[in-house]
Structure 1
Amino acid sequence: MGYTVIGMGKSRAFRVLWLLEELGADYTHLPVQPRSEEVTQHSKLGKIPVLLDGEATLTDSTAILTYLADKHGRFTAPAGTVQRARQDGWTQRILDELDALLWTAARHSFILPEAERVPAVKDSLRAEFARNLERISAEMAGPFVMGEEMTVPDILLTHCGGWARMATFPEAPEPFRAYARRLAARPAYQAAAAR
């Protein structure tokens, strides 16, 4: 029957679409906005993405990526291994040091009610993002975050890089740009981007 991904592709739902393409999995995509009826019938918060797998409803892009990678046994180290702990460390670091800064900038740009926005905070977020990305780029183990094989953190990191570019954050260091270009050239990335 396949999976159903709910959420527009120009959001964190892209991460899920990309991994499903990498896996060659059968899926249906409903490209809808947050808080739309299609979303709220499965997620009370109205956040995207939502993944339907049979009777199961999953939310949060990283939780979905982890579930899919574990279920298919690809793009992840096995649970309970030291390598998986290192992978999870990278995942959490990318979420904390990059994704959270991008999300906060978005909230102060168009998500929060106008009276609650503090536009000046975005300068600090951009500077911190640039420092963090420089360090992350220098610490990557090989052609991918974990070394020779692509894993969930690569999807998160590449997506954050594209999000930062769209949000006019400072230009990434060249090693990161080269890495992101390589991953964006993957057929699965291109197929997900076309949705």
Structure 2
Amino acid sequence: MYTVIGPVQSRTLRVIWMLEELGQPYDHVPALPQSDSVVQINPAGKVPVLIYDGTPITDSTAIMTFLADRHGKMTYPAGTLERARQDSLTQFLLDEFDAALWLAARHSFVLPEELRLSAIKNTLRWEFEKSQKQLIHRMGEGDFVIGDQMTVPDIILAHCLIWALTAKFRVIEPRLSKFLAQMRERPAFRRAVAE
């Protein structure tokens, strides 16, 4: 049994969605970041945290990779060229999509008001749109990021696109809009957001 800690309105959604896709049972504790209960488990106070066998695992991507490897689903085998491509696309999404959205969030409501730079969001929006064009050229031919198999980067991309729309970042590539619509229709996604 897994325990997932963090609210669904955060990167915790990625982990819950992954568990739903894998068909694995879990307990969900929607504790907020920086709350005492989270800091006791993760001194950084960040969510999500996955507890497995009494051990906390932090960072949504590390958690999803652990789950995919452990259950042998939603990933390509380690040491294969397909896994190298999967890992490369995962890093691209974290560097180009997730990082821009997180920096915009920090300058919107996370940082103390006197440290926020609202003008930076224009640059981040421009970078986000440029990154979409780069991603389209790296995606496979199928319905998912790499091709015909759903993998870890699919959840990261879908979550980032949802986050982008909430943050008023435009999704300019029709293929990405279609991808997001398909991902939102997945039964596992619907169960995850209903948590």
The bucket for the TM-score relative to the shorter chain is over 0.9
Please list, as runs of the form range in 1=range in 2, the aligned pairs for 1:41-120 lying within 5 A after superposition: 41-120=40-119
Partner in structure 1 of residue 177 of structure 2: 177
- Is 1:153 the equivalent of 2:153? yes
Deviation at 1:34, TM superposition (A): 0.2
Quick check: 1:7–1:31 contact (8 Å CA) kept in 2? yes
Higher alpha-carbon deviation: 30-39 or 133-142 = 133-142
Query: What is the CA-CA distance between 1:38 and the residue it aligns to?
Result: 1.9
Q: Which residue of structure 2 aligns with residue 163 of structure 1?
A: 163
> 5+ unaligned residues in a row in structure 1: which ranges?
none
Bigger drift between 70-79 and 136-145 goes to 136-145
Q: CA deviation at 1:137?
A: 2.6
Deviation at 1:172, TM superposition (A): 3.1
Task: Tell me the SS of whatever aligns to 2:27.
Answer: strand
RMSD: 0.9
The secondary structure found in structure 2 opposite 1:164 is: helix
Q: Deviation digits for residues 99-147 of structure 1, max 9, x if unmatched?
A: 0000000000000111111110000000110111122134310211111
8 Å Cα contact 2:57-2:63 kept in structure 1: yes
Deviation at 1:173, TM superposition (A): 1.9
1:137 matched residue in structure 2: 136
Offset at residue 16 of structure 1 (A)? 0.1
Superposed CA deviations along residues 31-71 of structure 1, whole A, max 9, x for unmatched, are: 12101122111000000000000121100000000000000
Q: Distance in 1 between matches of 2:172 and 2:136?
A: 9
In the alignment, the residues of structure 2 paired with residue 96 and residue 139 of structure 1 have an alpha-carbon distance, to the nearest angstrom, of 15
* Aligned 8 A contact 2:161 2:171 in 1: no
CA distance in 1 between partners of 2:52 and 2:33 (Å)? 19
Where do residues 117-128 of structure 1 align in structure 2 (5 Å cutoff)?
117-128=116-127
Unaligned ranges ≥5, structure 2: none
The TM-score with structure 2 as length reference comes to: 0.97
Q: Percent identity?
A: 50
Q: For 2:82 and 2:103, locate their aligned partners in 1 and report how far apart those are by CA, in whole Å.
A: 30
Once the two structures are TM-superposed, the CA of residue 178 in structure 1 deviates from its matched residue by 0.6
Task: For 1:94, give the aligned amino acid.
Answer: L
Moved more, 118-127 or 79-88: 79-88
Amino acid at match of 2:143: P
> CA deviation digits over 1:53-99, x for unaligned, max 9?
01211000000000000000000001111111111000000000100
1:28-43 equivalences under 5 Å are 28-43=27-42
**Amino acid corresponding to residue 156 of structure 2 in structure 1:** L
After TM superposition, the structure 1 stretch with the greater mean CA deviation from structure 2, 173-182 or 185-194, is 173-182
2:12 matched to which residue of 1?
13
The answer (yes or no) to whether the contact 2:33–2:45 under 8 Å persists in 1 is yes
